[in-house]
Amino acid sequence: MDRVSATKKRILNYTRYEMLTRAKKAFRDLGDDEELGPCDWLTVKTYIASLNNLEGSCEHPHSASEADNLDPNNLKDIRIRLLNGVQAAYWGMLNEGRIMQKTANILMQSVDEAIDLASQERLCDWKGLQSIVHFPSYYKLLQASIFPQKMVTYFTVERLESACYICAAFLRAHKIARRQLHDFIGGSDIASIVINESKAEGEEARNFLEGVRVTFPQVLRVVKTRQVTYSVLNHLIDYVQNLEKVGLLEEKEMLHLHDSVQTDLKRLLRNPPLVNVPTITDLISVHPLPGALPSMVREALEGSMNEMMKPCGVPLYKEGSNPNGIWLISSGVVKWTSKSITSRHSLHPTFTHGSTLGLYELLVGKRCLCDIITNSVVLCFFIESEIIFSVLESNPAVEDFLWKESAIVLAKLLLPRVFENMSTHELRVLVAERSEITVYMTGETIEVPHHSIGFLLEGFIKAHGSQEESIASPAVLLPLQGDQSSQNMEISGSHAASFSHQGSQYQVPARARVIFIDIAAFEVNGALRRRSPSLPSLLNRPLTREHGGLMSWPENFYRPGECEPNFEGTYRPSNSLSARAMQLGIFGSMVDVPRRDHSFPASK
């Protein structure tokens, strides 16, 4: 390693400091248990000689002088690192069943070719895919009514399926690699250049999928249905094999179940499913907000919804404008921008299908917090404010549900570092399972639990014992921690400081509404923590539910009428509107998931 460049040496040193931080986190989780008792960090550290005697301070890999000069070697190095991340993401998608081996080979080869050219030109792994991904203009003739719809769908799916998989995998892999690079190195000038190159590369892939979505919307639905079915069947095979490995199934039992799933998999490959294009009523009923409402309320809303198809680049509403209704995103992607809300930690400031936009501003009666602009062709529904207010007046029970739905978008806006990587339905699960809304009256005290993040939805509060200016909604309430990394994470800069606050107690001079989200018990990076991690560690990495196995449905929601304890010790019914919205967000419909009993029934 003596011959490596100065930048590579700094990257190695930077990585060793990160390794030391991770080692301390691992020790915190493993250093004490009920069976064997405690151990001490200093003793463990003596056996980690590779992290001893770290030289100097933790210097960023890209010094200011080299960032100004934009050394070509540094650009090449970062391009290769990002492309390696892209290739690793392809392997992950292959293992998940998102792409087939043939598609993976094509994608891997394009990355290898781009790595060879990393020193000569910008990121160019898309060039190796251009000849495969194209949308013939004559396909539009198939839209003529003289052709049966099923024949058109079959014909186009067979010819466009591979290209759709390639484009989707390309965009997903680059998004994952950009996030990993940004989380590791940060927002250096060189990293930003390569990240922007990656974003620019994805435009053609995005345009191809948009062309398919506009011309043959049913094709993407068929492709996605096949992909998910294939992935689920592969997950089931892995699950059954793992049960045999750990001794819970005998080999004969495993083989019986394995063969039955293999039969389903062969049938899928031999005769892939075609799906029906959903009607407008279907799209409304499966959206988490109207779909979760009582049937009478939903039917009343259906007649008042305005269906709209918006092309890319069209604003739905502008920052500072008065809200006149809410937008339900049925399909497509929108992006947000704001002058008042910091976006320095937001690498992908987008909202996707299942989102409800403009609801918070409407409920609280404030101007819109950000610009919402379509980032693709978007199918959406608009509901005027008068309709929402009439629903609230006639159905007070709906109010709490609407506030929780509004908090989903607010969390992504105000704390992108924590919540941006979570999909809308994952965040909805967190809000439905691990949140509580409380209305505080004048003179009451708000206490922020150490394991939670609070959002001031409505009203004003003051820091305990402080005569400073009141904190207005919306605001993020972070608990005090011994480790001040959370302060550095979100409370730096005047714009961020206006929304994020740290403290253990607040006084309520007038009525205030707060939602607390318990994130300590949530799954982090797919693995349930054995003990609750501190808040700063959660703020230092995005929450995600990328599972290696099947996602288990929360068992408290299996039986209607049962109640579940929330983190404050009170109870709310499991068949609540939030629970229904959560199920619609995950499955796209209300499904009957049988509850597994963990004990034998008592003998009578």
The amino acid present at 444, given as its one-letter code, is: E
Mean pLDDT of 473-480: 90
**Sign of the alpha-carbon dihedral angle for 351, 336, 301, 571:** positive
Indicate whether 173 pLDDT > 90. Answer: yes
Indicate whether 237 pLDDT > 80. Answer: yes
| pLDDT tier for residue 167 given thresholds of 50, 70 and 90 | very high
Mean pLDDT of 453-480: 86
Segment of 68-77, 310-319, 562-571 carrying the highest mean pLDDT: 310-319
In the structure encoding, which two tokens stand for residue 270, read together? 């031999």
Q: Which residues contact residue 106 at a Cβ distance below 8 angstroms, ignoring those fewer than 6 apart? A: 128, 129, 132, 166
Indicate whether 410 pLDDT > 90. Answer: yes
Backbone angles phi, psi at 447, to 5 degrees: -110, 130
Show the 3-state SS of 528-583: CCCCCCCHHHHHCCCCCCCCCCCCCCCHHHCCCCCEEECCCCCEEECCCHHHHHHH
Spatial contact of 407 and 445, defined as CB atoms under 8 Å apart: no
The helix or strand, by DSSP H or E, that contains position 19, with its residue range, turns out to be helix 6-30
Tell the residue number behind the tokens 């004003």, with chain if given: 460
Top-confidence residue, 484 or 137: 137
Range 206-244 burial, b when 16+ CB lie within 10 A, else e: bebbbbbbeebebbbbbbeebbebbbbbbbbbbebeeeb
Among 201, 195, 200, CA closest to 182: 195
Top-confidence residue, 573 or 498: 498
The pLDDT assigned to 474 comes to 93
Mean pLDDT of 199-212: 90
Range 35-59 burial, b when 16+ CB lie within 10 A, else e: eeeeeeeeeeeeeeeeeeeeeeeee
What is the rounded distance in angstroms from the CA atom of residue 220 to the CA atom of residue 318? 30
pTM reported for the whole predicted model: 0.74
Rg of the Cα atoms in the chain: 26
Indicate whether 59 pLDDT > 80. Answer: no
The pLDDT assigned to 569 comes to 43
In the structure encoding, which two tokens stand for residue 76, read together? 């090449």
Among 477, 485, 482, CA closest to 503: 477
The pLDDT assigned to 533 comes to 41
